Amino acid sequence: MEEGGGIEKWTPWQHLLHPDPGERRRTPGASKPYLLLSSGLEPVEGGYTEAFVLPISEKHKCELCHLVLCQPKQTECGHRFCRTCLDTLLSFPSALCPADQNSLHCINAFNDVCCQREIIQLQVYCRNREVGCTEQLPLEALEKHLNNCPHQRVQCPHSACRESLPRCQLAEHLNASCPWREQKCSHCLQNVVVSQTQNHEETDCPSYPTHCPNHCGIAPVPRSQVTSHLVRCPLAENCCEFQKCGCTFKGTTDMLKEHQVESVHKHLVLLLRRDAALEEMRLKMQEQLHSYESLLQKLTARIEHQEKELSQFKQLAESSSTKLSLMQRSLAAESDRLLCLETENLWKSSTLEDLKKWQQEAWNKFDSLTYRLDALEAVRDASLYQGATNTALETQVGHQDLLLSRHDVCLADMDERLQLLETTSYDGKLVWKISDYSRRKQEAACGKTASLYSQPFYTSAAGYKMCARVYLNGDGIGKGTHLSAFFVLMKGEFDSLLPWPFQQKVTLSLLDQGPGKHHISNTFKPDEKSSSFKRPVCKMNVASGCPILVKQTVLENGLYVLEDTIFIKVTVDTTGLPEI
C-alpha cells in the first residue's frame, strides 16, 4: 500500500484482530501437518512458548506470532511461519506476507524440515523450573522428561479423588492421606475404601459385632450369625404350626406352647374345614378327569380316522406319482423327437464371407442371364417372320424366365441370411424384432408354426453360441394364455475352450415400446444338472426358460405391440467368463 512514496507499516496481527467476515475462505490446498514432536507438546496455535536457555535467533521465529516456529513452513518469498499461522493467513482471499507484503499462495509453501531439526535441538528449561526443577534439555526430549519429572503435577489415580499434586508427593498421598485409598477392615480383614469404612461396618461387614434385634440380652454376635441366632432366640416370634390351615397366631416359643394347649378345638375345626375343601376339590378334579377321558377317546377316534384318510391319500399320491413319471417320460420322448425335427429344419449357417461370395456369384449369373435374355429378345424381334425359329426362341425365353425367378428366390434367401449375420451381437445381448405379430400368432394358434427361432448371438467373439425361441401362443402350462420365451444353447466353434456346464445368469424380457418403458422380465440361474446347459452334442440343446413370461391379454392391450411388431430381449450376464 503506497502512500506518499513509502510503504505503510503492516501489523502482524491486523488480520486476526480485525478480520472481515466476508473475506474468510477455506484453503483446500493447505498441506497436512508433519509431526516431528508429540502432539501433546506442540501448541494448538502459534509457536512454542517454552523457556529457552539461549536467546532465539530471528530465523527460528515466526513472522506472524514472533514465537519459536512450530512445524515451520517456508513461503516463496523465503520467510518462515508456523503451520497454524500460515493457515490463518491463507484463509483470507488476498493473503500478504507481513514481512515484505508479497502475495502468499498455499501451493508455493513447503515444510522446512531443516529448520524443524534445528529447533527441536534447542535447549529449554523444564516447565517446572519455578517449583524447583533445574533440568536443561533439548526441546525434543522435553516431553519424555515431563513424564518422569518429580515436580510435574499429576492427578491421583483414584477416579473419585483426582487430586492434583507433584509426582514426588504422590506415593505419600496414596499411602497416607488419600480418602479413597484402601485398607483392611479390622473385623473381616477385607480391603475397604477409607472413606467408606463406617458404611461398611454398619451395613456390609459380616464380622461386625451385632446385637440381637429382639433384645434378648445375649452378647453381640458377628452379623453373619444373627440369622441362625434368630431361629433359636427365645424372644423371636414364630407362626403357629396350623398356619396353613388358617390359624393366624404368632408369638414366642412359650406363647406358642400355651396357644397349642388352649386352641386344640379351634385347630380341629380348621383341619375339618381344610379336609372338606380338599374333598370338594378332589370331586371337581375327578369330574374334570372324566371329561378329559371322554375328550381323549373322541380325539383318539378322530386321529384313527385321519390316519386312514392319510393312508388313502398316500396310495393316491403314489399312483399319481407313477402316472406323472410315465407322462414325464412320454413328454421327454416327444420333446426329443420334436427337437430332432426342429434341428433338421434349422438353417445351415455359414460365415459372412461365404454368403457374400455366393451372393456375388448369384448376381453375376443374374447379370449374365439378363444379358442373354436381352439378346434373345432382340433376336426374337428381328426374326418374327420365322415361325419355327420364333417358337424355339419363345421356349428358350420361357426357360430363362424360370431360371431368373429361381435366382431371385435364392438372392432373397441370401439377403435374409446376410441381414441375420450382420445383426449378430457378440456382447451377450440380443434384441429380437418380431414383425407381423398378428399373422404369426394366428399361425401358432392353428399349429402351423408353433415357435420361432431368433438369429444366433454370442457372449464374445469366441464365446457361447446362443439363440432365443418364442411361442407366440404359449407352450406347456402357458399354452393359449401366455407368451412363452426360452433360451437355447447352440453348438459353437469354440465350445472346447469354454467352461461347462453353462452357469451364466439369463434374463428374458418383453420390451415396452411406450414412454414408460415398463419392461416385463424374468431372470433365472441355470441348473448345472440339466442337459439344457451341458455342452451341446448336436446343433442345439433343449430350450429352457419361462413358459408364462406374459399374459396375452397384457401383451396385446398394452404398448408392447406397436405397428404389429414386438421386441424380445435376451441378456446373458458375462461376469466371470474367461477371456479367450
Domain boundary residue among 321, 345, 369? 345
CATH code for position 508: 2.60.210.10
Q: Which residue has the higher pLDDT, 236 or 435?
A: 435
Does residue 446 sit in the same domain as residue 548? yes
Give the whole-angstrom CA distance, residue 551 versus residue 433: 19
Segment 428-470, tens digit of pLDDT: 999 999 999 999 999 999 999 999 999 999 999 899 999 999 9
Kindly report the CA angle at 560 between 555 and 564, in degrees rounded to 5?
95
Output the pLDDT for position 123. 95
Q: Which residue has the higher pLDDT, 131 or 237?
A: 131
Output the pLDDT for position 413. 64
Does residue 144 sit in the same domain as residue 88? yes
- List residues bridging with 430 in a β-sheet: 570
Domain-located, residue 245 = no
How many domains would you assign to the chain?
A: 4
The answer, as to whether pTM is greater than 0.85, is no
Domain-located, residue 337 = yes
Does residue 375 sit in the same domain as residue 463? no
Residue-wise burial string across 530-559, b where 16 or more C-beta atoms lie within 10 A, e elsewhere: eebbeebeebbbbbbbbbbbbebeebeebe
Give the whole-angstrom CA distance, residue 490 versus residue 496: 13
Q: Is the pLDDT of residue 522 over 50?
A: yes
Domain-located, residue 409 = yes
Domain boundary residue among 318, 345, 372? 345
The count of residues in the chain is 580
Does residue 15 sit in the same domain as residue 119? yes
Domain boundary residue among 149, 177, 210? 149
| 555: containing domain | 429-572
Does residue 121 sit in the same domain as residue 1? yes
Q: How confident is the model at residue 268 (pLDDT cuts 50, 70, 90)?
A: confident
Does residue 31 sit in the same domain as residue 120? yes
CATH code for position 56: 3.30.40.10
Answer for the pair 453, 486: CB distance below 8 angstroms, yes or no.
no
**Cβ-based burial of 507 (10 A; exposed 0-12, middle 13-18, buried ≥19):** middle
Q: Is 407 left (phi over 0), alpha (psi -120 to 50) or beta?
A: alpha
Does residue 16 sit in the same domain as residue 106? yes
Domain-located, residue 184 = no
Does residue 283 sit in the same domain as residue 335? yes
Does residue 400 sit in the same domain as residue 382? yes
Q: Is the pLDDT of residue 11 over 70?
A: no
Q: How far apart are the first and last CA of the chain?
A: 71
Domain-located, residue 557 = yes
Does residue 399 sit in the same domain as residue 483? no
Domain-located, residue 165 = no
Q: How confident is the model at residue 30 (pLDDT cuts 50, 70, 90)?
A: very low
Segment 276-332, tens digit of pLDDT: 889 999 999 999 999 999 999 999 999 999 999 998 888 888 888 888 888 888 788
Give the whole-angstrom CA distance, residue 259 versus residue 253: 10
